[in-house]
Amino acid sequence: MTFNIIWDKEGVYVKFRGVVTAQDLIDANNYVLSNANFDSICYQIFDFLDIDDFNISSYDIEIIAMMDKSQSEIKKEMKIAIVTKNNYIKEITSEYDQYMTGSDWETKIFDSIEIAKIWVNS
């Protein structure tokens, strides 16, 4: 497992490290979406600052977006903060946003955890 998950009463923080594969991202997403606490949170922070590589394709991000899109029909509002300085992750997040069109889930990219936390709590 290349990620740790920390829950608080309003959100979840997922910290990735090492080489992140599609399966890692899908596993983390499944864990968050299926957790009993998911219904009561309003934000998710995904931290990719300390990764070595990001092996996620456009097809992989489509699968993840479809999982989230189906959840967004039940859980109407969610803020998703992506924390990264990696240009490829920023590009793939744009693809994710395209698939999420029509939902009330907001996604933004940040260079620091501190700024991401300010946004999710605003």
* Separation between Cα atoms, residue 50 and residue 39, nearest integer Å: 29
| Alpha-carbon span 106 to 2, nearest angstrom | 25
Structure confidence by residue, pLDDT tens digits, 27-54: 999 999 999 999 999 999 999 999 999 9
SS3 62: helix
Q: Is 74 exposed, middle or buried (0-12, 13-18, 19+ CB in 10 A)?
A: exposed
What's the CATH fold of domain 3-120? Transcription Regulator spoIIAA (3.30.750)
Residue-level pLDDT at 69? 96
List the chain domain ranges: 3-120
Total-model pTM: 0.95
Q: What is the pLDDT of residues 56-97, one digit of tens each?
A: 999 999 999 999 999 999 999 999 999 999 999 999 999 999
